[in-house]
Amino acid sequence: MAEHHQAMQRSYRGELTLSAIVEDRAERFGDDVFASDPTGVLTFGQLRDRAGRVAGWLQEHRIEPGDRVATMLDAGLTYLAVWFGCAWGGVVEVPVNTDYKGSFLTHVLQQSGARVLVMEERWLSRLEGLELPELEHVVLVPSAAGGAATEFATHSIAQVLAHPPVPACPRQPTDLVYILYTSGTTGPSKGAMHSSQSAINSNVLPWLTVLGLSSEDVAYSFFPLFHGTGRNAVTTTTLFLGARVELRSRFSVGAFWDEVRACGATWFPYMGTVIQLLYAAQPRPDDLDNPVRRAFGGGVRLELMEAFERRFGLRMFEGYGSTELGQSTLSSVARRSPVTMGPALPHLQLETHDEHDRRTAPGEPGEIVARPTGPDSIFKGYWRMPEATLEATRNLWFHSGDRGVMSEDGHLLFLDRIKDTIRRRGENISSFEVEAAMAQHPGVLECAAYAVELDGEEEVALAVVTRPGHSIAARELFEFGIERLPRFAVPRYVRFLEAMPKTPSQRVQKHLLRQEGVAADAVDREALGIVVARS
């Protein structure tokens, strides 16, 4: 494994900054295609040119190295130009979940202090009424749906890309390059700070090591570029390899295999739901006739994994990771069982600890904790949140908030989340932020968001205590949530309670709510025929 790391690092001899890698790849593979999407292709040379143009426009508008630029874009070629343009200009990118609105969106833009927001025009109305004192410029990417009026100075992406390119801003591999926001658990979302070097150490080299990728491999990704998987595990890995990636803005069961065959993809990332949906589709005579040889992700039981591999002729790799740590473990085909997500990758030391931070014995559950084996291998801390950083890294270990078990030979079994986060179809949802949004309803006295399991997946449930003298129809509450929450965070179920189950210190006992599952008195949004439409 170490030898493979060294061999891959020898293939690239420059500094581990995104701009240096872009420059090197443009010089060596300039006319080769780096990325494609339904709108066309982008060569390595064009990536360098567009990155220089974006950086030049930012400089003209006095956006200095270290300033923050937020991106709220669909995965595609335009996103790549802006992402690497930020790195080229030395500014810090803040990827924003494209479903964010209301308090979710306000928090990320305010807390990051973004001076520029690059977004799809069709989402412009989401800025209406938001207090964003540090935001100066909004760059719009046109869409058929159009936009809306705004109080901010607006520019078109065409204007940005028409700017003459400028040389790359000198940067160090350890300089802050982007801030990825995690899902809030006991409070608002936190911005995990990463450098180019930490992104490569934690999310590029692992895939080169375990998957054995080369410049001949082609990636296919439907993951958004505001997620670490689509951003680093796929796209940055592809750039580092001098290879090619096919980007899609969303997953389609019907189109998946045809698109994979058309682009010649040899590997792709997944989440458990994707594998379930693909396997549930009607078998076709050409199921084995596809170019994919490897897939990686999490959340697939061993029996399904093996059946999927036989049907489609590929190998799957499961692992554990987080926004702060990057990819932390990966299983191998040679060492696979229903109870392992593989050993720690070379950039991490991984253990499980009890509540006193003492290491638990093999087979004994504990909190999953980690620390780097070298400098700049994981996140730098939380942006503008020193107390949260100190708490998360107490006793020189990063505390994941997840519970797991280590085997005798150092393989991790993930058990559950200690943190109060709901995971729905690949999206981590902050119950705190769902509750904050739904509590704005004038009839809600208090509410608690929690996960219920349905067909092997988590759904969002909301328990509500109404204010005295108020009555709320479930339909009204669902519609209230649709107006204020990202699509994936809108509750599927609502329960109306006389009182919340609480501890003596008045904390809501969500584990009791979760234990009841989908209770008999829960109102199902889908049963009411309420559909949450895509933007």
Q: What is the pLDDT of residues 411-440, one digit of tens each?
A: 998 877 776 778 888 787 878 888 889 988
Would you place residue 5 in the very low, low, confident or very high pLDDT band (cuts 50, 70, 90)?
very low
Whole-model pTM?
0.86
494, 523 contact by CB (below 8 A): yes
Paired sense of beta strands 523-524 and 40-43, if any: unpaired
- Strands, E assignment, 44-198: 68-72, 92-95, 116-120, 137-141, 153-156, 176-181, 191-195
For 380, residues 6+ apart whose C-beta sits below 8 A from its C-beta are 176, 193, 194, 195, 198
Buried-exposed string 516-530: b where 16+ CB fall within 10 A, e elsewhere: beeeeebbbbeeeeb
Q: What per-residue confidence (pLDDT) applies to 8? A: 47
Over residues 493-506, the mean pLDDT reads 82
> What is the percentage of the chain residues whose pLDDT exceeds 90?
72
DSSP annotation string for 165-188: P-PPPP--TTSEEEEEEPPPSSSS
Q: How far apart are CA 267 and CA 223, in angstroms?
A: 13
- In 3D space, the residue among 410, 438, 442, 420 whose CA is nearest the CA of residue 340 turns out to be 410
- Give the 3-state secondary structure of residue 109: helix
Over residues 205-226, the mean pLDDT reads 90
For 172, residues 6+ apart whose C-beta sits below 8 A from its C-beta are 15, 17
Least confident among 299-303, 306-310, 459-463: 299-303
Beta-carbon count within 10 A of 435 CB? 20
Amino acid at 136: E
First to last CA, the chain: 44
Q: What per-residue confidence (pLDDT) applies to 147? A: 63
Q: How far apart are CA 175 and CA 193, in angstroms?
A: 10
Q: How far apart are CA 132 and CA 143, in angstroms?
A: 24
Over residues 256-278, the mean pLDDT reads 93
- Strands, E assignment, 217-314: 218-221, 244-247, 267-269, 294-297
Q: What per-residue confidence (pLDDT) applies to 1? A: 40
Q: How far apart are CA 68 and CA 91, in angstroms?
A: 6
Q: What is the pLDDT of residues 509-530, one digit of tens each?
A: 888 899 899 999 999 999 999 9
Question: What domains does the chain contain, in order, with CATH numbers?
Answer: 18-171 (3.40.50.980), 199-417 (3.40.50.12780), 422-524 (3.30.300.30)
Q: What is the pLDDT of residues 88-102, one digit of tens each?
A: 999 999 999 998 999
Would you place residue 457 in the very low, low, confident or very high pLDDT band (cuts 50, 70, 90)?
confident
Over residues 266-272, the mean pLDDT reads 93
Mean pLDDT score of the chain = 90
Q: What per-residue confidence (pLDDT) applies to 337? A: 58
Q: What per-residue confidence (pLDDT) applies to 157? A: 97
Beta-carbon count within 10 A of 335 CB? 11
